[in-house]
Amino acid sequence: GESVGLHLPTLSVQEGDNSIINCAYSNSASDYFIWYKQESGKGPQFIIDIRSNMDKRQGQRVTVLLNKTVKHLSLQIAATQPGDSAVYFCAEILNQAGTALIFGKGTTLSVSS
Amino acid sequence: GAGVSQSPRYKVAKRGQDVALRCDPISGHVSLFWYQQALGQGPEFLTYFQNEAQLDKSGLPSDRFFAERPEGSVSTLKIQRTQQEDSAVYLCASSLNRNSNQPQHFGDGTRLSIL
């Protein structure tokens, strides 16, 4: 599978590989994080979220890992499919009283069959 | 449908015209957000409503931008005297309540082009 240690704007993988998309968030006071998938011409689609009191959360084919020490978030997609091709954004909310999502730089995932 | 609905999907206006963009949030969602997304960038926060109250408008770029949600449901984002730099996709999102640990669900946006 493909993995990256630092944020890359693009990631190309083969169908069936595992993908890892990385994100560095900005504020140590952030306590809620979301991964979104955005296809061309569509709005961001919720994938998975995680609170700051957790370091891992699993969904269907996706896993989010949170490392608060280095302010790093990653999204792992198992058995990547062509339908997973999209731009992926991580987003954070600063604290319990905060409301606005702060989006990171997106990663364009391209899956070839 | 059950999701956030935005209209129109596309809007073309001449510089100097006023535009109004509409958002229908998910039924029962208390919180409503507007974001602006420039080409190739992530969405950026504009403003937030809890029911009909506009609690945060810190992201609005100028006083030409105005948003309202008079009955706590449908919201309208109005841009007066549009300028070319207003060209972007305007996204609306809603969440169930004011608890920040609730995911925001997005509509497909209005793509605004100012000529």
**Each residue's pLDDT tens digit, A48-63:** 999 999 999 999 999 9
* Whether B31 and A105 lie within 8 Å, measured CB to CB: no
Cβ proximity of B108 and B115 under 8 Å: no
Residue A44 near chain B (CB below 8 Å): yes
What are residue B99's DSSP bridge partners? none
Q: In chain A, whose CA is at the least distance from the CA of B34?
A: A100
Contact A102, A90 (CB under 8 A): no
Which of A32, A41, A89 has the CB atom closest to B101's CB atom? A32
Nearest to A33 by CA among A15, A56, A14, A10: A56
pLDDT digits (tens, 9 = 90+) for A3-33: 334 578 999 999 999 999 999 988 888 889 9
Across the 115 residues of chain B, what is the mean pLDDT of every consecutive 10-residue run? 91 98 96 95 94 93 97 97 97 84 92 97
Instruction: Report the chain A residue with the minimal C-alpha distance to residue B92.
Output: A43
Instruction: Give B36→chain A minimum CA distance, Å.
Output: 11
**Residue-averaged pLDDT of chain A:** 89
CB-based contact (8 Å) between A96 and chain B? Answer: yes
